[in-house]
Chains A and B, each alone.
Chain A
């Protein structure tokens, strides 16, 4: 995905350089006639004509530079500019290397020779700059990790399996940036410049838990010392500025939280836009058969076994497509099919509702256990929620697969339904989880209220018996571990998400090891002593499930986005997880999987997965935003303790750190009277852009139809006239309808026999000549 952008940037850079030099010369000379320039470019794409012009210029240039008249200088300048343009577009021309080299050297010579006459020195600096740019591009490509691994997978499994790993690598890049933000701007400043462990109640393990704070079981559960550290929200102090740098900790925490979401949106939308451009939208003509013919072979395949598989799948898809075309009107038993489909959807809905209820039930139960004290329950009961969610995620898709056998859809449509259902399942589970979490948050907040009341009683009990009335006493120092502290609901939320992700990761890896590796080992070694052929028959080796894995990745990322505000350690955890996943899955794929038999290039799937990622991003940030805006922060933990709302930190910063007029401007800007018209304006702009794009599509279709009718009339007219004269008339007909050759079609290569298409001339009569007996062809 990345290299294409780099190369485009390279040529663009060169073009920009050419243009900037032009501007320079504008200052020196008169304005350049651009029309002449364009014409020159088109003619000079032919080798001979450029040579001719060069001869002309040489004759002119033999007079020494200071003797040249202004018009000749201008012409020379144009020549040089268009030579430079030629150089920058050489690599896109379908010429053999020898010709390109010759043209390049000649053009370079020409440019250097006359550059001196027109303007000095800048050419050398610019070529150094271009060289630096090119080296930088090379360096960037070399830096991209795991390139060799992915190439190996591409050659064995083709491009669809490799696309999963490319997607994984892209996610890894995003998570690295998020990790950089949270680590550098939130965790490190607090660790270095904030108050150390043990100096405040929120930073100390309570006395009651101190005994087992270092136990592995507790740490694995993210309690104990892990809970009271920079990993979670509750550790952070609400002091406005810390350290000698006067680092604004609460402000930085808030802005990093907002920044991670904003960055993610930007990256996802930018990638979607880029993919949409590549798709070459416009009309939705689908050239099914032609695409199967011309684009179905995957040139990356280097493995003979994969190639055989590919041959088989191409043949099958041809036969299927032909059959479908013939049977597309057959209607047999449509009522039964419809009934079965409705039944299947009903069953799926029941499944989804059932799983949602199960999760809700389990979360409530775990709250009950927590109230009773966690130690009195078994391991299963303690980790019930996470295990249930992971198991549901594993078994329900299989159930959906079985149900979809009722529906009798075309495999590609069935795949889309399956993906949609799995998406709904994960989404439903996640939201049920969040709702249950909200209940817990409310419980904790009630606890907090009770505790605040009790604090005063407890403080009084400290002084109990040591004071008379009306005497001031020295404040009693109490160790922070002994001070009762409020239940920090934010840390609790963070912990839940971290636990969920850890258990999800474990489930994935264990499923991988058992489902793929163990199965492959069994099939391989039991095959020697089993009645039927295990490799070809029932279990056989597993295929790599691209869509399931991509969905898992997307949902994992959604959970990270949801929890990152309350647990700054989540991006770091995810980076680690993706790193391990990459190596583990690369190994598993090469070792245990076989290439897919039916290869569905879920074409356009690139944007499909991006769209899902965008939806998940939106849905994940909703709960976090809701909690930030409506729920007041805990009174004694986290960087916002003591404020009535978390976003008050912005107000505070505006008042204290910025000059007074800034605050005034901001308050004007946030006035509803200004915001509403602005929103209205944006809605109108969107509507306008949409209607413009619709009209462009319409114009596109019209042009296409026109093209077809024109070519039809040409053919008709060439039929009506007699064969020898027909060519001339058709030629004349051609010149009237100036169908402008598209700028992107390269001229036909030389060295081909004459009856090829002439350069720049799309519809030409040679094909019609074919219908005439061969003696007529020249």
Chain B
């Protein structure tokens, strides 16, 4: 379990360094920011509720912030709360040096809104709505939405089953030159 004490143990720090793509300074900074999120709450709590995590400036403007919390959360109550270790996992997957495989794996899970292991039409529709913003006039018409989703499936769905599974997703993503540089969150 992550520690809420004011100092990270040295052994633990070196283990985290070995298990994530973060450098020592980044882990210590993450610990500091995480402790700040906890500071107003009960000292004995080890996990931060989702609302507090979403108040981080790096996540506040992100349309996928709730999905990110759900994906990285290991709490049994499925409420999206993060422990310090979950937080480190998050930062490691979004760090500059993470591999394409890790990033595409987590991207797939984030986009999979109904958690069924594939991206079907419903997932894609929710994805588009997230990307086009909250206001009414920036959304796509149902016609455009249908056209868009059929175009996407035509491009990425290799086995033509109407959904995009993990390997098809990774195939598409690995060809994209922008993905690695935009899928980054830095504290």
Contact = CB atoms under 8 A, between A and B. Distances in A.
Interface of A: 3-4, 6-8, 87, 90-92, 94, 96-98, 100-101, 104-105, 131, 134-135, 137-138, 141-142, 151, 154-155, 159, 163, 278-280, 282, 285, 287-291, 293-304, 306-308, 311-312, 314-315, 318-319, 322, 325, 601, 603-604, 606, 707-708, 711-712, 714-715, 742, 744-746, 748-749, 752-753, 755-757, 762-763, 767-768, 770
Contact of B89 (A4, A96, A154, A302): A96
B140 A97 contact: no
A290 B172 contact: yes
A714 B94 CA distance: 37
B20 A757 contact: no
Given A3-B96, A308-B133, A752-B117, A294 B18 contact: no
Contact of A6 (B58, B61, B97, B173): B97
B101 A92 contact: yes
B152 A293 contact: yes
B183 A131 contact: no
Residue in A97, A295, A306 with the greatest tally of chain B CB atoms within 10 Å:
A97
Contact of A300 (B74, B115, B182): B182
B94 A325 contact: no
Contacts of B160: 711-712, 715
Interface SS, A side: helix
Contact of A756 (B60, B117, B184): B117
Given A137-B23, A299-B62, A318 B148 contact: yes
A90 B64 CA distance: 27
Interface of B: 1, 14-15, 17-21, 23-25, 57-58, 60-64, 74, 85-86, 88-89, 92-94, 96-97, 99, 101-102, 105-107, 109, 111, 115-118, 124, 127-128, 131-133, 138-140, 144, 147-148, 151-152, 155-156, 158-163, 165-167, 169-170, 172-186
A778 to B, nearest CB: 14
A289 B152 contact: yes
B48 to A, nearest CB: 15
7 closest cross-chain pairs (CB), A and B: A756-B117, A311-B133, A97-B85, A7-B97, A307-B61, A767-B161, A711-B159
Given A151-B186, A293-B131, A752-B115, A767 B163 contact: yes
Contacts of A297: 62-64, 131, 182
Contacts of A603: 176-178
A763 B181 CA distance: 29
A299 B182 contact: yes
A101 B13 CA distance: 12
A294 B107 contact: yes
A16 to B, nearest CB: 16
A41 to B, nearest CB: 16
Contacts of B62: 297, 299, 301, 307
Contacts of A87: 18
B101 A302 contact: no
A742 B19 CA distance: 23
B155 to A, nearest CB: 5
B116 A289 contact: no
Given A300-B184, A314-B132, A315-B140, A757 B117 contact: yes
Contact of B173 (A137, A294, A712): A294
A299 B65 CA distance: 10
B22 to A, nearest CB: 9
A748 B117 contact: yes
B171 to A, nearest CB: 9
B60 A304 contact: yes
A281 B184 CA distance: 22
Contact of B14 (A105, A131, A278, A289): A131
B95 to A, nearest CB: 8
Contacts of B156: 287, 290
Contacts of B97: 3-4, 6-8
A91 B92 contact: yes
B15 A101 contact: yes
Contacts of A296: 131, 178, 182
A91 B20 CA distance: 5
Contacts of A278: 177, 180
Contacts of A92: 99, 101-102
Residue in B148, B152, B177 with the greatest tally of chain A CB atoms within 10 Å:
B177
Contacts of A749: 109
A141 B25 contact: yes
B86 A96 contact: yes
Nearest to A99: B74
Contacts of B107: 294
Residue in A6, A299, A306, A715 with the greatest tally of chain B CB atoms within 10 Å:
A299
A306 B63 CA distance: 13
Given A142-B25, A278-B180, A294-B169, A753 B116 contact: yes
Contacts of B92: 91
Contact of B161 (A301, A318, A715): A715
A141 B152 contact: no
Contacts of A163: 181
A322 B144 contact: yes
Nearest to B156: A290
A249 to B, nearest CB: 44
Nearest to A762: B167
A300 B173 CA distance: 18
B142 to A, nearest CB: 13
Contacts of B102: 92, 94, 746
B11 to A, nearest CB: 10
Contact of A299 (B57, B94, B148): B94
B74 A293 contact: no
Nearest to B135: A311
Nearest to A764: B165
A755 B138 CA distance: 35
24 contacts: A4-B97, A87-B18, A91-B18, A96-B85, A104-B19, A142-B25, A155-B58, A159-B184, A285-B175, A294-B173, A294-B176, A294-B179, A299-B94, A299-B183, A307-B63, A315-B131, A315-B139, A318-B144, A322-B147, A325-B147, A604-B177, A707-B158, A715-B159, A744-B101
Nearest to B101: A744
Contacts of A715: 159-161
Nearest to A151: B186
A757 B166 contact: yes
A289 B131 CA distance: 13
Given A289-B155, A297-B63, A279 B177 contact: yes
Given A314-B132, A322-B144, A97 B18 contact: no
Contacts of A319: 140, 144
B124 A293 contact: yes
A295 B147 contact: no
A325 B131 CA distance: 20
Nearest to B186: A151
Contacts of A325: 147, 151
A101 B92 CA distance: 14
Contact of A290 (B86, B140, B152): B152
Contacts of A307: 61-63
A606 B159 CA distance: 33
A311 B161 CA distance: 30
Nearest to A14: B18
A291 B172 contact: yes
B116 to A, nearest CB: 6
Residue in A282, A297, A752 with the greatest tally of chain B CB atoms within 10 Å:
A297
A705 B56 CA distance: 46
A752 B117 CA distance: 8
Given A280-B175, A745-B170, A94 B106 contact: yes
Nearest to A280: B174
Contacts of A134: 17
Contact of A289 (B101, B105, B151, B162): B151
B128 A295 contact: no
Contacts of A142: 23, 25
Residue in A280, A303, A304 with the greatest tally of chain B CB atoms within 10 Å:
A280
B173 A293 contact: no
